[in-house]
Amino acid sequence: MFQMLKLRIIPQTTSILKRAMCTQEQDVLFENLNNAGIITLNRPKALNSLNASMVTKLLQQLQEWMNAKSLVIVKGAGEKAFCAGGDVKAAIDKIEGPKFFYTEYNVNYLIGKYKVPYIAFMNGITMGGGLGLSVHGRYRVATEKTLIAMPETKIGLFPDVGGSYFLPRLPVNLGLYLGLTGDRLKGKDVVKAGIATHFVPSKRLYELEKLLSRCASEVEVQSLLNKFHEPAEDFSLAPNIKHINYCFAASTVEEIIERLEKVQNEWSVKTIETLHQMCPGSLKITLRALQRGAQLELPQCLRMEYRLACRHTTTHDFPEGVRALLIDKDNSPKWQHKSLAEVDEDYVEDFFKKLPQDKELQFFDSKL
C-alpha cells in the first residue's frame, strides 16, 4: 500500500515541479529553428520589460548559441512592444539594482561582440533596455510600429545599456539630443537616425524570420535583409537637423539651452520646455557620460555606466523619479536640485569615480 501511494505521489509532485519551472521560464522563450536560435521576450502585458530572471537566461543562452548557431534572432511577444526597457521598480533597490545592471550590461557587452549575425526585430515600443538588446547587434530591423526612446533623464537616471557608446556616435549630435530630451522616433525615422539598419513592414516579419533561419552565412543574411528592406524617404527631424547639430554641440547643458533660445522656433521652445521637465542632476551626468563615451569603446562605456548606475541606486533622484512617474504616478518629482545652477561639478564627478575593485563591472568571457 505504501509503495502504491509512493508511486502515485512522485509523478504528481514531479508534474507540479515541472509546471512551476515552465511557468518561471515563460518570461523569455528560446527556440531552435533550422540554423537560427530564436529568442522571444515573453512578458507582453509588461511590454516585455526586462527583469533579473530574463537577463540571466539571455546571457547563458547567448553564450551557448554563439558557437552553435549561424545566426540569432530576438523579438518581443505581442504587437505592442519589442522591449519597453528594464524593470526600474526593482532596479532602484540598493542590493538588487546593481545585481540586475551587472548581468544586463554583460548581455549588452556580449551582443556588441557577437560572432554570428545577431538580428533584432524592433517591432513596437523599444526603449531603454530594449535598445540595449538591439542597437549593439549587427542588424536591427524597424517596422511601422517601432517607437524608440531613451527617456531616463525623466526618472532621475541616465541613458545606460551602452547609451554612452551608441548615442554620441549618431550623426549630427542627434544622440545627445535624444539622450538629454528623451525624444521619440518612429518607423523609418529610426533607420534615418542610424539606430536601425533596415525597415521591414511588420506583416512581413514572419516570412523574414523563416527565410533568415535557413541562412548559412553572413552574406546570405545581409542579402536577404536588403531584399526585404524598404528605404526611408524624409526624416521628420530634417527641418531642425542644423539646429540640433549646433545646439547640442555645446559643452554644458546651460549652453545648450542658451543656443536653443537663440533659435526661436516652435521646435526650440518645445525642446527647452522638455529639458526643464527633466531631472537637473541627470541632465548634467548624462551630458558628461555622452561626452566621455564618445572617446571610449563599448566595454569601457559599460564599466563607466555601471559605476553611475550603482551610485544612482544610493542617491535621491532615481528612486524619487521612479516613485513620481511609475509608482505613485503623481508626476511631481522632488529632485535633489531645483535647477541646473544648483548641480555643481563635485556632485557630477562623484558619480564617475571608480568603485572598489571587487565591485567593478567584470565581463563573463570564460565561455566565449
Hey, which residues are catalytic here?
86, 129, 152, 160
Report the sign of the C-alpha dihedral through residues 303, 306, 311, 312, in that order. positive
Nearest to 241 by CA among 158, 170, 165: 170
Torsion of CA 319, 80, 201, 208, to 10 degrees: 90
Cβ neighbours, 10 Å, residue 195: 24
In the block, residue with C-alpha cell 555601471 = 306
CA torsion angle 147 293 355 57 (round to 10)? 40
How far is the C-alpha of 294 from the C-alpha of 312, rounded, in Å?
22
**137/250 Cα distance (integer angstroms):** 30
CA diameter of the chain: 89
Distance CA 66, CA 323 (A): 39
